């Protein structure tokens, strides 16, 4: 499904993806809690191609893996920050035909 969406939105098969997490702060203390999200987006178009919610700040590795596992990686470079640049995660990306670069 993601492959078709990318093709329909003219995202090239060799466009790089960046994966990063962000925290959207809540308001009024714990009354409306913040949300922690991990997203993958294209550099060329700035389009979000995948996202997942993580349980909290600094706990985004599982959510990052969820996002990346849904993406077509063959021939693509993924830019990752230090949280995601683990040997195991990078090996998984390479096994699927992608390459990694750290931000």
Q: Would you list the DSSP string of 76-94?
A: -EEEE-TTT--HHHHHHHH
Helices and strands (H and E) in the chain: how many: 3, 5
Q: Average pLDDT of 74-101?
A: 90
For each of the domains in the chain, give its residue range(s) and CATH number, in order of start: 2-102 (3.30.420.10)
pTM as predicted: 0.77
Cα–Cα distance measured from residue 79 to residue 95, given in angstroms and rounded to the nearest whole number:
16
Cα–Cα distance measured from residue 62 to residue 81, given in angstroms and rounded to the nearest whole number:
14
> Strand locations in 34-95, DSSP E?
35-42, 48-54, 77-80
pLDDT digits (tens, 9 = 90+) for 9-61: 667 778 889 998 888 776 666 677 778 889 998 888 788 888 999 887 677 88
Beta bridge partners of 48: 41
Q: Are 25 and 50 in contact (CB under 8 A)?
A: no
């Amino acid at each position: 499904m993601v492959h078709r969406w990318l093709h329909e939105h003219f995202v090239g098969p060799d466009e790089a993806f960046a994966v990063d997490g962000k925290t959207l702060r809540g308001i009024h203390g714990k009354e409306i809690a913040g949300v922690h999200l991990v997203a993958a987006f294209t550099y060329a178009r700035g389009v979000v191609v995948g996202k997942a919610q993580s349980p909290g700040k600094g706990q985004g590795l599982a959510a990052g893996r969820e996002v990346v596992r849904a993406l077509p990686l063959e021939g693509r470079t993924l830019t990752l920050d230090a949280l995601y640049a683990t040997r195991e995660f990078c090996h998984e990306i390479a096994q699927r035909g992608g390459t990694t670069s750290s931000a």
